[in-house]
Amino acid sequence: MFSVASIHDGVIIVGGKSYIGNVVGPIKEHNEVVFFNAVTKTWHNMPSMKYSRALPLLGVIEDSIIPYKYSSFISKMAMTCKFGGQRKSDHSTTSSTVFKRSFLLIAIGRTENESLYRGEIYDSSTNEWTDIQSLPLDFGGVSSGTVCKSKFYVCSRNEKLAAYDIERGFWIAIQTSPPFPFHVYPNPYHPHLVSTNGQLFMISSCFWNGQHFMVRKLFELNLVDHTWTEISVHPDTIINRKSEAFVADTNLIFGIETFEGKGKISEYFTVCDLSKSTDVNWNNISTKNIDRERIGKPIWIRSMAAVHVST
């Protein structure tokens, strides 16, 4: 139960939790961070987070959009820590030279015994993590997050939206119109935020025309006046859906959804092409069926990433 984010030609794996001894033993949460290079097929340790998090929300800001003021601020803080006698974590074995271009990695999460969602940012140029402001207590449990235009947007399970301003260093509560996409269905079908090409989208599970038949809807948020626009509807029923994960890249939104029924587990890989001006639809790319009896307790999809690999 770790989280992943893609950056350049690789994948960053962050945090997680595991059982100690067996599946009914106590749970251990992790703060370790590793990087997998998809081109060289090599692993590299990165500095560990300050706090252990089971499933942190992640956001990556690449060098082309890193605010100059924030980059300078991080560098000054790192210099102060070094001269102040503080040392890096023993897990900080990765040099910033592993990455060809600088980036910021945001992690938001909490431990099992905390109600406060803490945040910290890793700066590849300094190879260190720095604390950022925590989300307000009344925001609720965070369900998904994504970076869009140098801001890290998160939504909560109780239908709230906020954005962390990277340059100014604080959270901004966002009031949208309507307050949230209509017919958003509660847990376990929480909304998902994805971003691509400077656009922010939300994937929600909704009732179809007020009936018990459920569909997936895609909304776009206008970043200026904070209004929602419905982009598409996927009419497939999701009553027996067990888990889902979505990621956006260029003009595409990819989704993996897991269903269970009649002793079988089915995983659907779908894609939504946003390049069309009208008639934006979801298409099924592939389906994988798994025998429930063969694998025993199922391992649901938790997160996914899209990586561009140069050959």
Percent of residues, the chain, with pLDDT higher than 70: 73
CA distance 152 to 59: 7
Q: Supply the pLDDT for residue 173.
A: 92
Higher pLDDT, 274 or 69: 274
Phi then psi dihedrals of residue 80, to 5 deg: -60, -40
Instruction: Tell me the average pLDDT across 278-302.
Output: 72
Instruction: Tell me the average pLDDT across 82-95.
Output: 40
Q: How many CB atoms within 10 Å of residue 300?
A: 14
94-98, 120-124, 216-220: lowest mean pLDDT where?
A: 94-98
What kind and span of H or E run contains 122?
Answer: strand 118-123
pLDDT of 21 > 50? The answer is: yes
Which of 83-87, 161-165, 213-217, 256-260 is modeled with the greatest confidence?
Answer: 161-165
Q: Supply the pLDDT for residue 257.
A: 81
pLDDT of 11 > 90? The answer is: yes
Q: Supply the pLDDT for residue 186.
A: 53
Instruction: Tell me the average pLDDT across 106-124.
Output: 80
Tokens of 104: 């910021």
- The DSSP 8-state label assigned to residue 177 in this structure reads B
pLDDT of 93 > 70? The answer is: no
Q: Supply the pLDDT for residue 85.
A: 32
pLDDT of 244 > 70? The answer is: yes
**Residue 255 Cα distances to 170, 200, 270, 273, 301, angstroms:** 31, 16, 5, 12, 10
> What's the length of the chain?
311
pTM of the model as a whole = 0.84
CA distance 10 to 4: 10
41-45, 275-279, 284-288, 295-299: lowest mean pLDDT where?
A: 295-299
Q: Supply the pLDDT for residue 7.
A: 87
User: In which band, very low, low, confident or very high, does the pLDDT at 92 lie, cut at 50, 70 and 90?
Assistant: very low
Please, what is the average pLDDT of the chain? 78
pLDDT of 221 > 90? The answer is: yes
**Residue 117 Cα distances to 126, 137, 268, angstroms:** 24, 8, 32
**Residue 41 Cα distances to 37, 38, 127, 289, angstroms:** 5, 5, 22, 28
Tokens of 98: 């592993």
User: In which band, very low, low, confident or very high, does the pLDDT at 304 lie, cut at 50, 70 and 90?
Assistant: confident
The 3-state DSSP class for residue 198 equals: coil
Instruction: Tell me the average pLDDT across 294-304.
Output: 62
Which contacts of 199-203 are long-range, i.e. CB under 8 A and separated by 24 or more positions? 199/148, 199/274, 200/146, 200/148, 200/153, 201/231, 201/248, 201/253, 202/155, 202/228, 203/246, 203/253, 203/255
Higher pLDDT, 270 or 186: 270
Percent of residues, the chain, with pLDDT higher than 90: 31
Phi then psi dihedrals of residue 129, to 5 deg: -100, 145
Higher pLDDT, 185 or 90: 185
pLDDT of 51 > 60? The answer is: yes
pLDDT of 84 > 90? The answer is: no
Q: Supply the pLDDT for residue 188.
A: 56
